[in-house]
Structure 1
Amino acid sequence: MTEKSYLQKIDEHKGIILKVVNLYADDLEDRKDLYQEIVLQSWSAYARFEGNSKFSTWLYRISLNVALTFLNKSKKATQLKQNSIQEIAFEPQELSERADFLYRAIKQLAEVDRSIIMLHLDGFDNAEISEIIGLSKGNATVKLHRIKQQLTTILNRK
C-alpha cells in the first residue's frame, strides 16, 4: 500500500475527517491540529488496513479514536512528525446556517453520542455504527433513539 494510494483515499474521504474535526474541535488551530493528527495516525495504521471493512468505516473508527484522545490531551502535547503526509492541508468549511445550527446542537451531546449521530447522518446502519463505535447492535439502536430525542429537545429550545 503506497503513500500515493493512501493520499488518494484520504482525498476521496476527507469529508469524514472534516466532520469529525468540526464536531470535536472548537477553534481553528485545534481543528488544524486534529486534522493533521487524524491524517498522521491513519497513515501510520494504513499498512494494517486489510480491506475487511469499507475504507470509510475504517477511517471513521480511526478519526473518532484520535478525536476522543485529542480531547483528553492538553493542547500541543505532541508535535507532528515532519514528513510528506503533513503536507495535506486543512481547508476550513463554510457551513450553511442550517448546518451550523445542527453542528452547534450536536456539539452539546456527549462525545460518544456525537459520534453515533454523525455516523447515522452519514447513512451508516446500526450494525455498522456498532462496529465502528464498539457497542452491541442493540445498544447502538437504543442510544441512537435516545440521541434523536435529545437532539429534538435541543433543537426545539432554540
Structure 2
Amino acid sequence: MTSAVLTMAQARQQQFQALLERHRGVVFKVANSYARGAQNREDLAQEIAAQLWRAFPQYDGTRAFSTWMYRVALNVAISHLRERSRYDQHHQALDPADHEVAIDEADAESAARVRELYRLIDSFDPLNRALLLLYLDERSQREIAEILGLTETNVATKIGRLKSNLRDKLAAAT
C-alpha cells in the first residue's frame, strides 16, 4: 500500500473522528432514548458509532452531517429495539434497576416528571419515539422529514398528535 493511500485513509479517519466528536451528543441522545440500563446504552452507543463508521463512505458531504448521523443512529436504534424485543419475549429481566432512566437532577419532583416523560415516550412505537427525540432536539420539520423519510406535512401532523397525546397522558398521571 502506498503512503498516499495510507494518508487518504488516515485523513478520512481523522475527518470522521472530528465529526463524530463534534456531534457525539446525537449518539448519546439516541442511545438514551432507545436503551435502558447503563450497559445497554453503552452497547447501543458503540453499535451506532460502528455503523456510522461503516456507512461513512456513503456520507454526502454537501448535506448536514448531523442529519445523516441521526438517520443512521435511529436506524441502528430501531433495529436494536426490535432485536431486544425478540430477546425479551424469551427472557425474564433479573434486575428491575436496569430499566431506570439515568437522571442527574437534584430536584426530586423534576426528576419524577422527567422519569414519567421517559416512561411515556417509551410507550410509543419506534417511529413516534424518533419523532419525539428529533422534536425535543429542536430539529426542523424539514430535517426530521429527511431523516425519517416522511413528508414535512406528515411530520407536522404526527408531532401535533404526539404533543397532544403526551399532554393528555401527563395530565392524567398527575
TM-score (norm 1): 0.81
Deviations 1:2-50 (A, max 9, x none): 2122112111111111111111111222111111100000001112112
Q: How far, CA to CA, are the matches of 1:93 and 1:47 in structure 2?
A: 34
Q: Where do 1:11-90 residues align within 5 Å?
A: 11-74=21-84
Aligned partner of 1:8 in structure 2 is 18
Q: How far, CA to CA, are the matches of 1:95 and 1:151 in structure 2?
A: 23
Deviations 1:54-103 (A, max 9, x none): 1110100000000001112259x9xxxxxxxxxxxxxx964432544433
Equivalences, count:
143
Secondary structure at 1:66 match in 2: helix
Q: How far, CA to CA, are the matches of 1:130 and 1:148 in structure 2?
A: 17
Aligned partner of 1:132 in structure 2 is 147
Q: How far, CA to CA, are the matches of 2:119 and 2:77 in structure 1?
A: 17
Structure with larger Rg: 2
Query: Per chain length, whose mean CA-contact separation is higher, i.e. which structure has more relative contact order (CA < 8 Å, sep 6+)?
Result: 1
Secondary structure at 1:73 match in 2: helix
Q: How far, CA to CA, are the matches of 1:102 and 1:134 in structure 2?
A: 26
Q: How far, CA to CA, are the matches of 1:102 and 1:39 in structure 2?
A: 27
Aligned partner of 2:5 in structure 1 is none
Shift of 1:105: 2.7
Q: How far, CA to CA, are the matches of 1:150 and 1:109 in structure 2?
A: 10
Q: How far, CA to CA, are the matches of 1:55 and 1:20 in structure 2?
A: 15
Aligned partner of 2:127 in structure 1 is 112
Q: How far, CA to CA, are the matches of 1:122 and 1:10 in structure 2?
A: 17
Higher helix share: 2
2:120 is matched by which residue type in structure 1? A
Structure 1: give runs of 5+ residues left out of the alignment.
78-91
1:150 is matched by which residue type in structure 2? N
> Structure 1 residues 93, 16: CA separation in 2 closer, same or farther (over 3 Å shift)?
farther
TM-score (norm 2): 0.74
Q: How far, CA to CA, are the matches of 1:135 and 1:100 in structure 2?
A: 29
Deviations 1:84-134 (A, max 9, x none): xxxxxxxx9644325444333322222111111111121211111111111
Aligned partner of 1:84 in structure 2 is none
Shift of 1:136: 1.3
Q: How far, CA to CA, are the matches of 1:3 and 1:31 in structure 2?
A: 24
Structure 2: give runs of 5+ residues left out of the alignment.
1-10, 88-100, 106-110
Aligned partner of 1:147 in structure 2 is 162
